[in-house]
Structure 1
Amino acid sequence: MDAAARGADDVDGAGLDPSCYEPLQQAHQLQAAGDWLSAAAIYAELACRHPDDHRLLANQGNALWLADLPAAAHLAYSRALALNPQCLVSRRGLASCLRDLNCFDQALAVHRLLEPIFPHRSEEGLANLWAHSQVLIGLERFGEAFTRMASRRAWAAGRMPTPWNALAAQITLVTEQGFGDSLQFVRFLLPLLRRRAAAGLRNGVRLRVEPALVECFREGLAWLEIPPQVDPLSPDDSTQDALTLLELPGALGLQHLPQIRGDGAYLTSPLWVGGGAGRPLQVGLVSAAGHPGADPFCIREFQKRTLPMPILWRLVDALRQSGAQVHDLQFGADACRHRALGLSPLPSGAGLDGFAATARAVAQLDLVISVDTAMAHLMGAMGRFGWVLLPWSADPRWLSAGPLSPWYPRLRLFRQPRPGDWHGAVDQLLDTFKSGHFAAGKAP
């Protein structure tokens, strides 16, 4: 979870007059219900009544940040720090706001100040370590980022990171975080396997992944001379002694992204074949970022990375009017959004039951348009042409600006030109589409 979502020095009424108790309880209830703006309004009112209490401003900043208003949250945190420069909650929140405002260098400076303050094993220290590593990725300082990512579990166990033996007879790697992270970081198997092959090791690498990824990785990595053994990972399995894919580049001591072939594909299979010629342009669409669950940070990310229905309809209608056949690639509970708009079923009756089936469906399409979700990483890993719609405060892995990604050479990024402006991002995409810069089988 992001540092700013972790809660401020929650005001329990200490030092405030009794008339504040009831509104504080109301603010807590509103936060529990996800009504962050109403909670922020209560904290702002209380801060006016108690102008010397930095905690109220810090809580206001947290609520505003969770409402995806980082500029307003930045102001609240700054006011809190003016009252108490040692307020660690506000410092953490300030770093999150700076990242969301695409001020990565300034966010990095705050994370560096915080790193020696928090005990490494503490929840705050681990959260800052992760956020620090992600800002470094956004600055393309990959070696520093990978080192920090590889330190997380050692810090959590209260020990210093120890060297990892890439040439051990048997190595087990496991996935963590989400599907998108697994699809993005499985590329680092290539330098591991090259290093082992150079040392004469022909086998011994086992990859344990979520069941939905097993067939995809088995098929997509079968092109390797010596592919890893891919097995399902159960929620009950212990992963304490295994290295995670997110830790792998740091454990290998990598300073840069590994060299991949020209189209960037590292998941590829003869089972993933394209469609025929002489047909309308076939476009797949993913418009929602997946079910958010109950976590406030996940809800925030889902909301800011999901196209509102009016924007979605505008995009679908414009693509159809330009002659494209738009196919439904949406997965999960949000698939009903596409069904409601009458999107075409997948070509050849393909399904989305697992990522291998999704890869087969993607291979039959000329272009896939997706918000920032696992589909974007699947397209990139396959070396397919794909267009990704990004919010203004995109994840740092997409960098802070520009239409290209160092991770995926065949993806094109369309960013909101200002916070919340999906119309602007869709305008850019449709202008590119209508100008003829994309044709089946040719680069965008």
Structure 2
Amino acid sequence: MNEAIGHFMQALRSIPDRNPTTLIPPGSDQPQLTANLMGIACHQLGRLADALVCYQQALTLKPHYSSALSNRGLALMALGDPEAARAAFQHALQLQPDFPEAHANLGTTFQEQDRYAEAEGCFRTAIKLDPHFARAWYNLGLALQAQGHYTEALQSLRQARGLDPTDPDAPLAESLILLLLGEDAAGWPLHEWRWQVEGVHPHGHPQPLWDGGDFSGKTLLLHCEQGFGDSIQFIRFVPWVKRKGGTVVVQCPPALYTLFLTMPGIDHLVTTAGTLPSCDLQVPLMSLPHLLRMTRATLPRSTPYLKMDARCPSFFQQQSIPPFHLKVGLSWRGNPKHKNDRNRSIDPHRFSRLWTLEGCTFIGLQKHPSASDLAAFAGCHRWIDPGSRLDDFAVTAAIIAQLDLVIAVDSAVIHLAGAMNHPAWVLLPKVPDWRWGAEGDDCPWYPSVRPFRQPRIGDWDAVIDQVFLQLIKKKKGA
């Protein structure tokens, strides 16, 4: 079957504009099977609309074809229509109740809509039908993690890893739970599986990977990966790398360039748009804790390691802010492309209770806020929006340095405040990203950052209530 799909993919690549159903050989003994396999080939090539055409042809030939229905559901999921996908999977299960793949696929539709208990039930049914179904074990692990059942999640992910040792998704997910729980010695080595995950792009540098040893007489390239916040968090390791010997070159996005000029230990800083000098070795920033054998106990917590550029002028010189006011920076959204952004970002209208506080001026730290977002501040009598000046993180750092407090969701802004050792409150979902820990009133990476955690999944109102009360206390103590 895989061989047939491969042949179809080759044919589709050679004739990209052709209706895929016309490639189905006439007189086939099982035309419905051929159409179904052609649909799978189209799906794997990203031709989702064509895949739906093929699955529909298979269903026209055989209306009770449960496999084609399930595959149709997968294509609909990929097209962003979980409701239609769910209907397809449920139809497949009506026809074939003992179809483990359809149960697992149905679970992913619930997972996509944060209905994790229902997703868990689907994955458990799939595993009961097929105990060797590695992907169902993996998805069960994710559903358990999303509900905060970390021990059970680890067990499921390890079961998936044992059944399919070549799949990178399970060890990577396991690493993130271990890091969340503070088990760094076990978590960081597994985190290296991220380079094998589909959609995670390799570093693209030809130099050999640094092994963490002495590199005296050589030049080592450190390059950023993933988001701005990750780069800000992991640039702290540069001085520890520098102690290993030779010349340290750091490559970063242009928006971080001026900010990173304040980082000690960098011999040569270049942007991703610039020309790199000759380098002997390379390493991604997020591999440094593994190579340096860092744990929660040995983690470098000395802050600030990033500072305001002294050349940046005072942001508030032109603002008339009463001297007794607390200047509070706000950021409510992270990167919208982040897979968990819907759980970690907050609708700014939820902050409206804060506008009733006397003696506070709120300053926007949100890059490119939408018109809808800005409308949330219509009732805030003391609100300042820096606008496009936030395109450069050095400017953001200069503004943060002049604030009394930063309040932000899990985003680059909170990482920057923490790296500057500036007072900050991070607003976290019930199941936070690994770097903030599963519980507690402190942040292991940033001593100046205080977490405010959801008591229940999705309950941002309780978080804002706590922020409101603590702002009153802070104002009284100002």
TM-score, normalised by the number of residues in structure 1: 0.79
Match of 1:131 among 170, 173, 182: 173
Q: What is the percent sequence identity of the aligned residues?
A: 29
1:280: Cα distance to partner?
0.8
Structure 1 partner of 2:283: 243
| Deviation sequence 1:406-429 (CA, Å, 0-9, x none) | 111111111221111111221222
Amino acid of the residue matched to residue 110 of structure 2?
L
Task: Say if 1:87 and 1:438 are closer, same or farther in 2 by CA, change over 3 A.
Answer: farther
Residue pair 1:100, 1:394 contacting (<8 A) in 2 also: no
Question: Equivalents in 1 of 2:124, 2:62: separation in Å?
Answer: 25
Contact 1:144 1:255 in 2 (8 A): no
Question: Does residue 189 in structure 1 map to residue 238 in structure 2?
Answer: yes
State the Cα deviation string for residues 21-78 of structure 1 (Å, max 9, x = none). 7865764464244232453354235424421111111001111111122222111111
Q: Distance in 1 between matches of 2:169 and 2:459?
A: 29
Q: Residues 384-399 of structure 1 correspond to what in structure 2 (within 5 A)?
A: 384-399=422-437
Matches within 5 A, 1:15-94: 18-19=63-64, 24=70, 27-28=73-74, 30-94=76-140
Q: Which residue, 183, 192, 213 being the options, matches 1:165?
A: 213
Aligned position for 2:394: 356
Tell me, what secondary structure is at the counterpart of 1:351? Answer: helix
The 3-state SS of whatever aligns with 1:389 is strand
What is the RMSD computed on CA atoms of the aligned residues? 3.7
CA contact 1:290–1:334 (8 Å) conserved in 2:
no
* Alignment match of 1:265 (pick from 286, 289, 304): 304
| Letter matched to residue 459 of structure 2 | D
- Out of 134, 141, 145, the residue aligned to residue 183 of structure 2 is 141
1:174 aligns with 2:217: no
Q: Which position in structure 2 is the counterpart of 1:3?
A: none
Match of 2:333 among 264, 281, 288: 288
Q: Distance in 2 between matches of 1:314 and 1:50?
A: 45
Max radius of gyration: which structure? Answer: 2
Distance across 2 between alignment mates of 1:88 and 1:393: 24
User: CA shift at 1:246, angstroms?
Assistant: 0.6
Q: Corresponding residue for 1:214? A: 257
Aligned pairs for 1:271-282 within 5 A:
271=310, 278-282=323-327
Structure-1 separation of matches of 2:139 and 2:232: 29
Deviation by residue 1:318-346 (Cα, 9 ceiling, x = unmatched): 24434311111111354751255246225
**Distance in structure 2 (CA, Å) of the matches to 1:114 and 1:437:** 51
One-letter amino acid matched to 1:374: A
Where 1:115 maps in the other structure, the secondary structure is: helix
- Aligned positions of 1:109-124 closer than 5 A: 109-120=155-166
Amino acid at match of 1:282: K
In structure 2, what is the equivalent of residue 307 of structure 1? Answer: 346
Q: Which residue of 2 aligns with 1:367?
A: 405
Q: TM-score, normalised by structure 2?
A: 0.74
Change (3 A) 1:30 1:113: closer
- What is the one-letter code of the residue matched to 1:171? L
Aligned residue pair count:
405
CA distance in 1 between partners of 2:77 and 2:274 (Å): 30
SS of match in other structure, 1:206: strand
1-side partners of 2:267 and 2:430: how far apart?
A: 38
Asked if 2 retains the 8 angstrom alpha-carbon contact of 1:290 and 1:331, the reply is: no
Q: Is the CA contact 1:403–1:413 (under 8 Å) kept in the aligned structure 2?
A: yes
1:380 equivalent to 2:418? Answer: yes
Rate the CA distance shift 1:150–1:314 in 2: closer, same or farther, 3 A.
Answer: closer
**36-45 or 75-84, larger mean C-alpha shift:** 36-45
Deviation readout 1:92-113 (Å, 9 max, x if unpaired): 1011112212222222223333
Relative to 1, partners in 2 of residues 1:188 and 1:110: Cα closer, same or farther, differing over 3 Å?
farther
Residue identity in the other structure for 1:185: F
Counterpart secondary structure, 1:419: coil
Structure 2 unaligned runs (5+)? 1-43, 45-51, 203-208
Structure 1 CA distance for aligned equivalents of residues 233 and 213 of structure 2: 23
437 and 53 in structure 1: CA distance in 2 versus 1, 3 angstrom threshold: farther
Deviates more, 1:180-189 or 1:337-346: 337-346
Match of 1:103 in 2: 149
Asked if the contact 2:345–2:409 (Cα under 8 Å) also holds between the matched residues in 1, the reply is: yes
1:422 is aligned to 2:460: yes
CA distance in 1, matches of 2:280, 2:164: 24
Aligned counterpart for 1:434 among listed residues 468, 472, 475:
472
Structure 1 residues 76 and 437 mapped into 2: Cα distance closer, same or farther (>3 Å)? farther
Moved more, 384-393 or 18-27: 18-27
Matched AA of 2:133: C
Give secondary structure in 2 for the equivalent of 1:433.
helix
Aligned to 1:295: none
Once residues 90 and 31 of structure 1 are traced to their aligned partners in structure 2, the CA distance between those partners, rounded to angstroms, is 17
- The amino acid that maps onto 1:253 is R
Using the TM superposition, give the Cα deviation of residue 439 of structure 1 relative to its aligned residue in structure 2, in angstroms: 4.8
2:423 maps to amino acid:
F
Aligned to 1:328: 364
Aligned equivalent of 2:447: 409
